[in-house]
Amino acid sequence: MKLLQILLATLVTGIGSVWIAGMLLRLGVRGRTQDAGHGPQHLLSLAAGALLATAFMHLLPEAFESGLEPSVLFAVLLGGLVLFFLLDKAELWHHGHEHHHGPAADIHPGAAAHGHDHAGHGHNHAGHAHVHAPDGGAGHGHAQGPRVGGWAVLAGDSVHCFGDGVLIASAFMADTRLGLLAALSVLAHEVPHHVGDLVVLRQTSPDARAALIKVSLAGTVTALGGVLGWWLVERLHGWLPYFLVLASSSFAYVALADLIPQLQRRLAARQTVLQVLWLLAGIVLVTGVSRLAHGDEHGHVHGLETERPEGASAPHRH
């Protein structure tokens, strides 16, 4: 039953995020200027809030309820952040975003949609150098070059989706509600990235349907990661708190090193307020889903109670 839940959640997350991104593109979410296309920025803010809330309000508290020494779990958290930093340097983890500041260039229709070159996620958008206007302002300049990098996009997506699947499975093995929250957070942060993926693939091929299918196939790798995560945690249940801390370090790293830096630009007061509101909306969304799934039952006992490290105290009830 747990494996079925993981498979369904990872497939919905991996493929559903691609289809939502494709639908947003059809609705014209990518604008020619930042003022004409707020969608991607709002999605990034929403995703950052969801990831941070899941990491610090749910995954970490769940891990700490195992009764393990806080110093040990914080060491794992720190080690996880360093690990994902190293994976990022090796271009194996999150969607990197290199912005080159310089004079404004032609504004490309897809520039506002994502505004990055995907360096850290294996997305080598070789021919697309994004440049900010001198005032750090609204638009992204977009100088086109050779249309290459489509397969790099898919390879990077596959690696990242596989890791997402492992993390989602770890959360499900602790608690179904926690797994749903993790899947929701992953879905939220994958949508804006897939918008950019589809834009790049459409530049390498005029067939929009083929681009959607290719990215969807990369998204199915999330389910493979979910199966591996289920297999590992099933056999290493005593290590579950460490898996949860590792998952939280991943979510926090992606939010702080990937999403939020894209929002750190000079904007009008109204747009700044909207960014903050969408960030808070992500936090409220995750918290609201958690309360809805949890219901009014305050005596819920987490799955860590059944198999926790020897000598550990019973988890708290809430």
Dist. CA 172–CA 233, nearest whole Å: 10
Task: Between 28 and 22, name the one with better pLDDT.
Answer: 22
Instruction: Tell me the per-residue pLDDT of 182-197, one tens digit each, with 9 for 90 and over.
Output: 999 999 888 888 888 8
Q: Which residues of 38-67 are buried (b: 16+ CB within 10 A; e: fewer)?
A: bbbbbbbbbbbbbbbbbbebbbbbbbbbbb
Share of the chain above pLDDT 90, in %: 34
Dist. CA 126–CA 275, nearest whole Å: 29
The pLDDT score that the predictor gives to residue 29 is 62
Dist. CA 40–CA 31, nearest whole Å: 9
The pLDDT score that the predictor gives to residue 39 is 58
Instruction: Tell me the per-residue pLDDT of 37-80, one tens digit each, with 9 for 90 and over.
Output: 455 678 888 889 999 999 999 999 999 998 899 999 999 999 99
Confidence of residue 318 (pLDDT cuts 50, 70, 90): very low
Instruction: Tell me the per-residue pLDDT of 229-258, one tens digit each, with 9 for 90 and over.
Output: 999 998 888 899 999 999 999 999 989 988
The pLDDT score that the predictor gives to residue 293 is 57
Instruction: Tell me the per-residue pLDDT of 106-134, one tens digit each, with 9 for 90 and over.
Output: 333 333 334 444 433 444 433 333 433 33
Task: Between 165 and 66, name the one with better pLDDT.
Answer: 165
Taken as a whole, the chain contains a residue count of 318
Residue with tokens 């993790």, as numbered in its chain: 182
Question: How high does pLDDT run on average in the chain?
Answer: 74
In this structure, the strands spanning 128-132 and 140-144 are antiparallel
Task: Between 18 and 88, name the one with better pLDDT.
Answer: 18
Nearest to 222 by CA among 262, 276, 165: 165
Dist. CA 187–CA 164, nearest whole Å: 10
The pLDDT score that the predictor gives to residue 16 is 94
**Would the pLDDT of 300 be above 80?**
no
Dist. CA 285–CA 114, nearest whole Å: 23
Dist. CA 192–CA 157, nearest whole Å: 13
Confidence of residue 92 (pLDDT cuts 50, 70, 90): low
**Would the pLDDT of 270 be above 50?**
yes
Dist. CA 234–CA 205, nearest whole Å: 43
